[in-house]
């Protein structure tokens, strides 16, 4: 039997979302940082959490700009009552996720740290990529998880 969901419960689980199409230019990363900072602040994340979200989102945008092949990329902020999830998508050639190497932190090199940083700063991270078909990353931060 399908459970009956009350109107209050539907309201309680409400998701609000903001979608943006952003020019693939590094100067727009700052605009997205400000945007996500405003959203996270409004949701009640603390200063450290907001800083982590800004860094992770900026890394995701930088990848979309660097590895994407289009002149724009897409970002979607989902405001849930217990979490913020951010999806960043580009129309680049994507990559084989299995071939992405974990950084060797004992012999650090420049580059290759973005995805590692995102995974360290966010609570849940998912990549979807089909070679030749763009890259999508979803990163989730839960409210109150870092106390
Ligand atoms: N948006 C993307 N499109 C295609 N490949 C990507 C994308 N983001 C990440 N990758 C792949 O994952 C690798 C690791 O990404 P990252 O950790 O950010 O390091 P960097 O961007 O410095 O190479 C990249 O070198 C690239 O092969
Ligand atoms: Mg990167």
Judged against a pLDDT cut of 80, whether residue 14 lies above it is answered with no
Could you report the per-residue pLDDT of 107-131, keeping only the tens digit for each?
777 778 899 999 999 999 999 997 7
Tell which atom from ligand 1 comes closest to the C-alpha of 113.
17
C-beta 112 within 6 A of ligand 1: yes
In the chain the domains, ranked by start, together with CATH numbers, are 16-142 (3.30.565.10)
Cα–ligand 1 centroid distance for 67 (angstroms): 7
C-beta 69 within 6 A of ligand 1: no
**Which percentage of the chain shows pLDDT scores above 70?**
89
Could you report the per-residue pLDDT of 65-90, keeping only the tens digit for each?
999 999 999 999 999 999 999 999 99
The mean pLDDT value of the chain amounts to 90
Alpha-carbon 105 to chain mean position: 23
C-beta 88 within 6 A of ligand 1: no
Cα–ligand 2 centroid distance for 113 (angstroms): 6
Judged against a pLDDT cut of 80, whether residue 3 lies above it is answered with no
């Amino acid at each position: 039997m399908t459970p009956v969901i009350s109107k209050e419960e539907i309201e309680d689980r409400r998701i609000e979302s903001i979608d943006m199409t952003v020019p693939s230019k590094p100067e727009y990363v700052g605009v997205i940082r400000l945007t996500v900072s405003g959203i996270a602040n409004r949701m009640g994340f603390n200063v450290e959490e907001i800083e982590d979200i800004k860094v992770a989102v900026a890394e995701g945008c930088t990848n979309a700009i660097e590895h994407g092949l289009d002149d724009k990329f897409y970002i979607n902020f989902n405001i849930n009552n217990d979490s913020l999830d951010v999806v960043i998508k580009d129309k680049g050639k994507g990559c084989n996720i299995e071939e992405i190497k974990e950084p060797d932190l004992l012999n650090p090199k420049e580059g290759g740290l973005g995805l590692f940083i995102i995974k360290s700063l966010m609570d849940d991270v998912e990549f979807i990529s089909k070679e030749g078909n763009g890259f999508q990353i979803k990163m989730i931060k839960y409210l109150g998880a870092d106390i």
